[in-house]
Structure 1
Amino acid sequence: MRRRAAMRANPLEALLASEPFVLLDGALATELEARGADLSGGLWSARVLTDAPALIRAVHADYLAAGADVVTGASYQASFAGFARAGLAHDAAARLMARSVGLAREARDQFWAVEGKRAGRGYPLVAASVGPYGATLADGSEYRGGYGLSVEQLMDFHRERLACLIAAGPDLLACETLPCAEEAVALARLFTEEFPDARAWLAFSCRDGATLADGTPLTDALLQIDACPQIVAVGVNCTAPGFVTALITAARAVTAKPVLAYPNSGERWDAKTQCWHGHGDDFAGDATGWLAAGARLVGGCCRTTPATIAALAALRARLKAAASRG
């Protein structure tokens, strides 16, 4: 079965051509929580799609105002199985997944409708978040991998949610926090065999400067998906900032695709106690090293905020000013 979508050949191309780096947004779930959203239970940020959709739209708007070129919808934890466990019927689950894209599109369209906000900006993109299978287990499995599932079983898990999200009309898919190569291969096969007009980035969660969460070398995982033309960027997310420069360097050695990085703030998540430990890093300062290593798309994951993205936007402005003087 082949499905057709109306995504552009490469939605990132214009931004990559015009900017020193494409600026992604920051955390959604932890930002929603900071604003009073209840993220308890297995749905995490997807719960807010029913409880407070306007709050999601407001966070998207704040990231756009901070300078983000891409806003990512609240579907990371969304799956038909997860919604079913929460008592939602299949059709209701599908509507909520579509709503995650719709809220991001509404925020983008409202932002872009104000002429004064367009100056010096590329047209912002909407990415539909595709979280890993482990995210639906709500037990930290996306930081461990080792699901015990085959590529075919992972394809079965992702197939219908991909179709639902694509039908909602995002510019691209953000396949995030992938802890194992098998899940990346499953997604690449779905794009090649069933969703040939979809465009996506794939970002892995890594446990150090060389390997995925399950211990697979990042380079091995990237080589397995590099031939998939629907994958328009690759890299890492939800990873400690201190590992990112080495991971970007490793990725650049094996792929010509643009490399992206949107790590956590520097704080560490404890899945057992359900809380964060430590302190955030100097994100904009660290980002200079990521860019020097070859990153072309940069943003933030857990515990980053609109202020983080504003700091990255200021860094980009300085880089553009320096280039114009040179």
Structure 2
Amino acid sequence: MSIPAVTILDGGMSRELEKHGAPFRQPEWSALSLMETPEIVCAVHRDFIQSGAQVITTNSYALVPFHIGEARFTAQGQALAATAGKMARQAVELEDSDTQVAGSIPPLFGSYRADLFDPERVEVIATPLIKGLAPYVDFWLAETQSLIAEAVAIHKLLAQLDEAHKPLWVAFTLEDSEALDVPRLRSGETVQAAVERLVALNVSCILFNCCQPEVIAQALQVAQTTLKNNQAEHIKLGAYANAFAPQTKDATANDGLDEVRSDLTPPAYLTWAQKWQTIGASVIGGCCGIGAEHIQVLSQNFHQTTQK
């Protein structure tokens, strides 16, 4: 297998927003910056572009009732999603860049909470996000998905709502344990089962995110084998880990700005990314705690590697 060229994603938004002085409080989380300081959201996107990101992701992750409440979501959800799209697109234009914009469709019922999935409410929550983001994004990124059913439901809804039929990327979050028999989503479902289901949907890219870098390599290996066995090697693979300590089964992402691992420096993170590339990942970036400095190191390395 040849080693693929790498497309560089951006990193986590929350700490970068904090560095710029964006407001933070619970439960709104990163959505608060869209409400009070959208210009800072644009500035962070520009930082990532300047660091070499070829894809930036809209700051729409916290635009769900879980974070901003039912009443505010009903009244402002679509408008806030539009603001998130506008800030990302504006950053690309101000940087005069060909960077693509990924429309983040977050876990609709809370990060890591496969147990809260409610299929009857997917349309109600996801529709305003899709409609608000649609004019500004190049493709969709359903990220930090804890279970197969939610990713399938989002795919079905996009088929109905997205008149342009933009590509869909799906990123699953994994159980943070290297002791498992096989790599699994936080729902307990296997990576193999998840990849097989997405092959049937013919998504454009399958990624693993918001989990330890140590668990991603095995997941990529399983995904690569599954794609090959299903004659679906045209589907890209990717990864963007977080920098947290391992999260327990009852953890909930975005409870606060968790401490990040001191060992995941930009050069150390690059080592993991290089390993993922050798397995077959062609899309690599960072999640929570992976900042612009990490992305710059990734970009410098992989762009130089590609040019050799």
- Normalised to the residue count of structure 2, the TM-score between the two structures is 0.85
Q: Report how far residue 111 of structure 1 moved.
A: 0.6
Name the structure 2 match of 1:181: 148
1:211, 1:218 within 8 Å by CA — same for their partners in 2?
yes
Give 1:170-319 correspondences, 5 Å limit.
170-195=137-162, 197-207=165-175, 208=177, 210-229=183-202, 231-255=203-227, 256=233, 257-268=235-246, 271=252, 274=256, 275-276=258-259, 278-281=261-264, 282-319=268-305
Give CA deviations for 1:268-297 in whole Å, capped at 9, x if unaligned. Answer: 566497332532421111111000000010
Q: Determine the C-alpha separation between the residues in 2 that align with 1:78 and 1:198.
A: 21
Name the structure 1 match of 2:129: 161
- Of 64, 86, 90 in structure 1, the residue corresponding to residue 49 of structure 2 is 64
- Of 143, 167, 172 in structure 1, the residue corresponding to residue 112 of structure 2 is 143
SS of corresponding position for 1:234: strand
Q: Determine the C-alpha separation between the residues in 2 that align with 1:82 and 1:306.
A: 25
Aligned residues: 285
2:133 alignment partner AA: L
Q: Determine the C-alpha separation between the residues in 2 that align with 1:294 and 1:318.
A: 18
Name the structure 2 match of 1:98: 82
Q: Determine the C-alpha separation between the residues in 2 that align with 1:279 and 1:201.
A: 30
Residues 1:143 and 1:84: Cα distance change in structure 2 (over 3 Å): closer
1:259, 1:294 within 8 Å by CA — same for their partners in 2?
yes
Residues 1:159 and 1:311: Cα distance change in structure 2 (over 3 Å): same
SS of corresponding position for 1:44: coil
Give CA deviations for 1:5-54 in whole Å, capped at 9, x if unaligned. Answer: xxxxxxxxxxxxxx811000001122112333232122211110011111
Residue segments in structure 2 that go unaligned for 5+ positions in a row? 228-232
2:58, 2:102 within 8 Å by CA — same for their partners in 1?
yes
1:26 and 2:14 matched? no
Q: Determine the C-alpha separation between the residues in 2 that align with 1:106 and 1:81.
A: 27
Q: Determine the C-alpha separation between the residues in 2 that align with 1:265 and 1:277.
A: 5
Residues 1:74 and 1:89: Cα distance change in structure 2 (over 3 Å): closer
SS of corresponding position for 1:177: strand
1:49 alignment partner AA: L
- Of 78, 97, 101 in structure 2, the residue corresponding to residue 126 of structure 1 is 101
Residue segments in structure 1 that go unaligned for 5+ positions in a row? 1-18, 113-117, 136-141
1:268, 1:278 within 8 Å by CA — same for their partners in 2?
no
SS of corresponding position for 2:90: helix
Residues 1:155 and 1:216: Cα distance change in structure 2 (over 3 Å): farther
Q: Determine the C-alpha separation between the residues in 2 that align with 1:89 and 1:298.
A: 31
Q: Percent identity?
A: 24
C-alpha RMSD over aligned residues: 2.3
2:269 alignment partner AA: F
Q: Determine the C-alpha separation between the residues in 1 that align with 2:102 and 2:142.
A: 9
Name the structure 1 match of 2:93: 109
- The ranges of structure 1 where at least 4 consecutive aligned residues each deviate by more than 6 angstroms after the TM superposition are none
2:192, 2:223 within 8 Å by CA — same for their partners in 1?
yes
1:80, 1:161 within 8 Å by CA — same for their partners in 2?
no
Q: Report how far residue 156 of structure 1 moved.
A: 4.1
Q: Determine the C-alpha separation between the residues in 1 that align with 2:102 and 2:159.
A: 19
Residues 1:277 and 1:62: Cα distance change in structure 2 (over 3 Å): closer
Q: Report how far residue 96 of structure 1 moved.
A: 1.4
1:235, 1:251 within 8 Å by CA — same for their partners in 2?
no
- Normalised to the residue count of structure 1, the TM-score between the two structures is 0.80
2:174, 2:211 within 8 Å by CA — same for their partners in 1?
yes
